[in-house]
Amino acid sequence: MSTHNRKVSVIGLGYVGLPVAVAFGHQQRCVGFDINVERVAELKQGRDSTLEVEPAELSGSDILFTCDAKDIALADFHIVAVPTPIDEAKIPDLTPVLRAAETVGKQLKAGDIVVFESTVYPGATEEECVPVLEQCSGLVCGKDFFVGYSPERINPGDKEHTFTKITKVVSGQNAEILEVVAQVYESVVTAGVHRAASIKVAEAAKVIENTQRDLNIALMNELALIFQRMDIDTRDVLAASGTKWNFLKFDPGLVGGHCIGVDPYYLTHKAQITGYIPQVILAGRSINDDMGNYVANQTVKLMINAGMVVKGSVVTVLGFTFKEDVPDLRNTRVIDIVQGLHDYGVEVQIHDPFASAAEARHEYDVDLLDTTKLSPADAVVLAVPHAEFLSAGWDGIAAHLRGGAGIVIDVKARLDRSTRPATMTHWRL
């Protein structure tokens, strides 16, 4: 039963928005809006291609799935959960969130509240989004309608830390609106809410959460680069160091996805506008952004040392999503490995049981192949350790290698070294 009198709409039904809409839809009728006609159609049929929401959860939630912006007016509490990517120059692209603000603005009524969940830099809600809402609605923010910010904390594929089980940071432009925003979210988030001191504080909290993780992973990646030169296995070092009670557990690897590999650039962009040039954050980003190319280079070196002719050789890349056991291709850094190998004249073939072949072709101009269409390879790169690949073990890897022998690149060190076949050279980050 609802503990507030607000009617909720969610704008953007992707990895973030759908779980939010489902949670509120379990409570009362909710409007779920998305501009993607195919996405709305599949949700109406009870299917979620992101695999974030189970069919039973979806069918048990009262949601009006729609592409008609006029339906947004049926609600008075609007949650904007659209992507906020970066462009090729690593500059924040607020286009999706500003277009969403325009869509909502045209449907705004006096008394409405708009809460943004999309990741932005501190100040963006009030400085960028509010003017669009005002222009499109003809209403005055702070008088006719109000805004808040509540950063999303969705972790794709994580069935433990879900929307309702994660403490929700909330904020509003004044104390009264903050309480309303808090009450609305408290009605569905069992973990409770944290009332941030201001909208800017909530925005900043979001970007530093992932910036902190990014920097910790960057340290692990730099250690991997150093230990490689010393002929020391990085994972062995981390296992030893991890026995100390206050050693923080992070692993080296590719850093992609819609959060960790993107959010730091929102903070550094705003910092540079204020006249400060970040050093530590950008250094970490530089290290992480180059890891895919590093893996490609190591693969080629091992092939050369094995006496292989690199140009024209075949390398099979297993996994293309940004993390294991999810279909999410956003900002996947596996593409860096693929492009790095292509630069050496290698024929790269990619297989991923989760990823959409159409999306991979559209977003990255690569073809995903079924296992029946994979040619015997000289090397295999286990880029994303999906459970399916791990359950097949070394036998599964051997099935892709020419004669069951060759180079195996185990990016996340998930294969058991103790059972490695003698016919394979095993390298891990």
Place of tokens 């040039």: 277
User: Both tokens of residue 166?
Assistant: 């994660």
With 0-12 / 13-18 / 19 or more C-beta atoms within 10 angstroms meaning exposed / middle / buried, residue 368 is buried
Among residues 30, 129, 141, 259, the one annotated as catalytic is 259
Buried-state track 71-80, b at ≥16 Cβ within 10 A, e below 16:
bbbebbbbbb
CB–CB of 106/137 below 8 Å? Answer: yes
Tell me whether strands 77-80 and 113-116 are parallel, antiparallel or unpaired: parallel
Buried-state track 404-421, b at ≥16 Cβ within 10 A, e below 16:
eebbbbbbbbebeeeeee
CA nearest to 82, candidates 145, 41, 32: 32
Strand order in the sheet with 406-410: 347-351, 314-318, 379-382, 406-410, 424-428
Catalytic site residue 259?
A: yes
Residue type, 275: G
Cα separation, 408 vs 315, whole angstroms: 10
416: helix, strand or coil? coil
DSSP 226: H
CB–CB of 234/202 below 8 Å? Answer: no
- Longest Cα–Cα distance of the chain, Å, equals 73
Cα separation, 276 vs 266, whole angstroms: 14
E-strand stretches of 88-166: 113-116, 146-149
With 0-12 / 13-18 / 19 or more C-beta atoms within 10 angstroms meaning exposed / middle / buried, residue 51 is middle
Residues known to be catalytic: 259
